[in-house]
């Protein structure tokens, strides 16, 4: 198992830094540390694909970079659309109750032009609060 490995990419001319917080043959988790923070993402390789792929190889390195790029794109979208997202948050969650799953689904489906993984949704709600 490997973790706390720093990674850096360049996205649209900007340096993006992150950290692999968990890594083994079948699972990988990445968090972005700069220019945004508070967002994490991860992937899992199902058992039937493990003879062909492992996150402990160069495949894992590339996957970590792709996850970091996705987190950067998410952070960029949130920064550019902060006011809209705050309005949507108030509209979809009555009196700040963020626990209702149906409200969460409506919020994410109507507020983001791309699919937001379920594992990242809690991070987003925390950042927006």
Query: pLDDT by residue (tens digit) across 64-76?
Result: 999 999 999 999 9
Check whether the bond before 35 is cis (ω within 30° of 0). Answer: yes
Query: pLDDT digit string (tens) for 2-41?
Result: 668 999 999 999 999 999 999 999 999 999 999 999 999 9
Helix (H) or strand (E) holding 112: none
Amino acid 50: pLDDT: 84
| Count of beta carbons in the 10 Å neighbourhood of residue 113 | 6
Q: Is the pLDDT of residue 48 over 60?
A: yes
Q: Is the pLDDT of residue 104 over 80?
A: yes
Q: How far apart are CA 40 and CA 32, in angstroms?
A: 7
Closest to 64 (Cα-Cα) out of 108, 30, 115 = 30
Residue with tokens 């659309």: 81
Q: How confident is the model at residue 119 (pLDDT cuts 50, 70, 90)?
A: confident
Determine the 3-state secondary structure of 17 from DSSP: strand
Closest to 72 (Cα-Cα) out of 21, 111, 23, 17 = 17
Determine the 3-state secondary structure of 39 from DSSP: coil
């Amino acid at each position: 198992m490997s973790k706390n490995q720093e990674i850096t990419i360049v996205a649209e001319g900007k340096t993006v830094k992150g950290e692999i917080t968990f890594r083994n043959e079948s699972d990988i988790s990445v968090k972005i540390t700069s220019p945004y923070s508070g967002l994490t993402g991860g992937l899992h390789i199902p058992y039937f694909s493990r003879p062909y792929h492992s996150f402990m190889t160069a495949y894992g390195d590339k996957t970590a970079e792709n996850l970091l790029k996705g987190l950067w794109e998410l952070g960029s979208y949130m920064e550019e659309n902060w006011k809209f997202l705050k309005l949507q948050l108030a509209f979809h969650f009555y009196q700040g109750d963020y626990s209702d799953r149906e409200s969460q689904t409506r919020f994410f489906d109507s507020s983001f032009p791309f699919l937001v993984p379920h594992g990242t949704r809690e991070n987003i709600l925390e950042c927006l609060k």
